[in-house]
Amino acid sequence: MIPAYEIEGLTFSYGTVPVISLDRLEIPAGEIVGLVGPNGSGKTTLLHMLAFIEEPHQGDIRFFGQTCTESNRLALRRKVGLLLQNPYLFHSTVLSNLTWGLKIRDVPRQVAAEGALKALALVGLEGFEHRYAKALSGGETQRVALARALVLDPDVLLLDEPANHMDKESIERTESIVSTLNREHGKTIILTSHNASTVQNLAHRILYVEQGRVVPASLDNLFSGNLVQDGSVFRTERISVDLPDRMNSGSRLVIDAQQIRLMLDPPEPDLNNVFSGLVSAMTLENGKIKVKVDAEESFQIVLENSDPIVSNIRLGQRCWLHLTPPSIKVF
Amino acid sequence: MQFILDGFLSALRMIFSLDREVYFVVWTSLQVSIIAVFFSTLVGVPLGLIAATRTFPGKQALILALNTSMALPTVVVGLLLYAFISRRGPLGELGLLFTPAGVSLGLFMLSLPLVTNLTLSGIQSSDPRLFVTCKLLGATPVQQGIMILKEARFAVMAGIVVAFGRVISEVGIAMMLGGNIRGYTRTMTTAIALETSKGEFELGMALGIFLLAVAFFINALLFMLQRRRA
């Protein structure tokens, strides 16, 4: 199956500040993909490039096998729907907002109005068509903007931090729409969030974005520092981690929270990358237990609920962490 | 004081008795102003839209030139155009000097920078998400432009109204390019200047009342536009 997006050598900067730097990325068609990263990591810029409204400074984006060029940019843009984090509605009625995209595609007025009403019903705003768009609440605005994107029947739907301005009911409805669109219509959906737990339920896969790059692990344990000893050790301000492979460059270290081994007894002394600390928090997130351990650095560890160690962990308890080789990534 | 009161009463009499000369002057004024503002809207609004939404070499120079020309004294515009359309000028053969068309051309030159600049600043002060939204909904550049103008309509209309207010009340261009010919190019402002200097205070006063009424109408329109914009 042809991927929805194939990205190669993509770069984008604001002035001299690099925002996006992606060597290669593939987003399969028909999947829900979560882009997770902190504010300012480049998620929104990447989304704008995937919607073809922002041009990369270098590199290629192939959309269902079709390379984006100046001549087909508008045609590709019309196949993608983007819901902005803080959407803008035109100074007109809700119905006019929804039909404008169809009108500029020369869809007959009657057909456009029917489509708009269906999209409004889908987002749970029946009867809102004659309301003045600027008088809607934040959640309603977000839902009208979603309906405006849906009415155009895009091949790919991009949602930028959809939960940000929504109440619980709107979030649940959006999740259900996204899920249905993907399951029943095979649409590819990409949504961003600064918090993995908000997209975990929906997404088939999560890509973590940090400083404009897609990084190979979750960002729960992200440290800045530098390589020492010919690239065999990564040193942060407080700890040194032996790397499984020698690295030539890298200024960030991520430790995959799901691949850290947590022990309640001291391990064998010759095991490297072991840190001792105290359990400072335990939370239940999406059916998994997240344990915070304050060692020289603070670490997050994700455990399956069925893991036998879970029942023995107590707050304030001393424990040992082994950063297993697969958990260590430098970029 | 009596002389002012008498003048005022005579002026009202002229207005209510539908004095032919008064109404012809008012009509000429409105005609040359409307034509000028119509064409400056036709040229200035798209120009302002392009200047606000596109990047091109010389954009800053254009904005600077527009700002400068907004403050141009009307007699300077009149003088420059006089040089072009006078018999010896490069456009002398067109025979525009001392015609209503010549006055309209001068007023067009006066109002064009105003319409362009106020359109530009009106669009630039629009919500930046508007431009992104038009793009992401798949609009072509022309469709984007139409929607941007629609969204910034109150600012653009305010610019046109301000330009109309400026041209209907100016005297330098109308005097230099129109020549204040009775029954042909005489406008409200040139007539007021001439009639008052001749001691025909009543006619000047009657036209002044009309000019004030136009100014009031324009300000009321602006006020309404600004309220709708808010």
> Considering only CA atoms, which of B77, B154, B147, B69 is closest in space to residue B119?
B154
> Is B132 in Cβ contact with A90 (below 8 Å)?
no
Reported as a pLDDT band with limits 50, 70 and 90, residue B112 is: very high
pLDDT at residue B195 in the model: 86
pLDDT at residue B230 in the model: 56
pLDDT at residue B42 in the model: 97
pLDDT tens string B135-190: 999 999 999 999 999 999 989 999 999 999 999 999 999 999 998 999 899 999 99
> Is A82 in Cβ contact with B138 (below 8 Å)?
no
pLDDT at residue A278 in the model: 95
pLDDT of B40 higher than 70: yes
Residue of B138 and A306 predicted with greater confidence: B138
Structure tokens at B175: 């005097």
pLDDT of A108 higher than 80: yes
Reported as a pLDDT band with limits 50, 70 and 90, residue A288 is: confident
Reported as a pLDDT band with limits 50, 70 and 90, residue A111 is: very high
Chain A residues 91-150 with CB within 8 Å of chain B? 91, 100-101, 104-105, 148
pLDDT at residue B229 in the model: 60
Q: How far apart are CA B100 and CA B102, in angstroms?
A: 5
Q: How far apart are CA A318 and CA A301, in angstroms?
A: 14
Say whether residue B151 is in contact with chain A using an 8 A CB cutoff: yes
Say whether residue A62 is in contact with chain B using an 8 A CB cutoff: no
The residue in chain B having the minimum alpha-carbon distance to the alpha carbon of residue A102 is: B137
Cβ neighbours of residue B183 closer than 8 Å, sequence gap 6 or more: B21, B24
Q: Among the listed ranges A107-121, A243-257, A258-272, B213-227, which one has the minimum average pLDDT value?
A: B213-227
> Is B127 in Cβ contact with A84 (below 8 Å)?
no
CA distance B76 to chain A (A): 41
Of B129, B132, B138, the CB nearest to A78: B138
Mutate to test the interface with A, among B136, B142, B143, B151 (most CBs of A within 10 A): B136
User: What does DSSP assign to residue B137?
Assistant: T
> Is B140 in Cβ contact with A77 (below 8 Å)?
no
pLDDT at residue B207 in the model: 85
The pLDDT of B179-208, averaged and rounded, is: 88
Say whether residue B150 is in contact with chain A using an 8 A CB cutoff: yes
Cβ neighbours of residue A214 closer than 8 Å, sequence gap 6 or more: A22, A25, A207, A208
pLDDT tens string A161-177: 988 777 888 888 888 99
CA distance B140 to chain A (A): 7
Please count the other Cβ atoms lying within 10 Å of the Cβ belonging to residue A218: 19
The residue in chain B having the minimum alpha-carbon distance to the alpha carbon of residue A101 is: B137
Q: Exposed e or buried b for every residue in A220-246, given b needs 16+ CB within 10 A?
A: bbbbebebeeebebbeeeebebebbee
Of A53, A90, A104, the CB nearest to B136: A53
Mean pLDDT of chain A: 92
Residue of A6 and B67 predicted with greater confidence: A6
> Cβ contacts (< 8 Å) between B130 and chain A: which residues?
88, 90
> Is B151 in Cβ contact with A90 (below 8 Å)?
yes
Q: What is the interface pTM, i.e. ipTM, of the complex? A: 0.82
Find the distance separating the first CA and the last CA of chain A, reported in whole Å: 30
> Is A77 in Cβ contact with B133 (below 8 Å)?
no
Could you give the 3-state DSSP secondary structure of residue A201? coil
> Is A86 in Cβ contact with B138 (below 8 Å)?
no
Of A53, A74, A86, the CB nearest to B140: A74
Residue position matching structure tokens 């430098």: A330
Say whether residue B146 is in contact with chain A using an 8 A CB cutoff: no
> Is B143 in Cβ contact with A88 (below 8 Å)?
no
Per DSSP bridges, beta strands A274-285 and A222-224 are unpaired
Residue of A218 and A262 predicted with greater confidence: A262
Residue of A124 and B230 predicted with greater confidence: A124
Of A82, A84, A104, the CB nearest to B139: A104
Residue position matching structure tokens 């749970």: A124
pLDDT at residue B187 in the model: 92
> Considering only CA atoms, which of A294, A312, A293, A243 is closest in space to residue A272?
A243
Size of interface A-B (CB pairs under 8 A): 44
pLDDT tens string A136-158: 998 899 999 999 999 999 999 99
Of B127, B140, B150, the CB nearest to A88: B127
pLDDT of A101 higher than 90: yes
CA distance A87 to chain B (A): 7
> Is A104 in Cβ contact with B133 (below 8 Å)?
no
pLDDT at residue A269 in the model: 85
Cβ neighbours of residue A121 closer than 8 Å, sequence gap 6 or more: none
Say whether residue A86 is in contact with chain B using an 8 A CB cutoff: yes
Q: With contact defined as beta carbons under 8 Å apart, do B191 and B25 qualify?
A: yes
Reported as a pLDDT band with limits 50, 70 and 90, residue A36 is: very high
CA distance B151 to chain A (A): 6
Concatenated DSSP letters of A223-287? EE-EEETTTTEEE-SS-EEE-SS--S--SEEEE-TTSEEEESS---TT-SSEEEEEEEEEEEETT
Cβ neighbours of residue A216 closer than 8 Å, sequence gap 6 or more: A208, A254, A329, A331
pLDDT tens string A179-218: 999 999 899 999 999 887 788 778 898 898 988 988 877 7
> Cβ contacts (< 8 Å) between A104 and chain B: which residues?
137-140, 143
Structure tokens at A111: 């057909």
> Considering only CA atoms, which of A266, A260, A270, A230 is closest in space to residue A325?
A260
Phi, psi at B167, each rounded to 5°: -75, -35
pLDDT of A43 higher than 90: yes
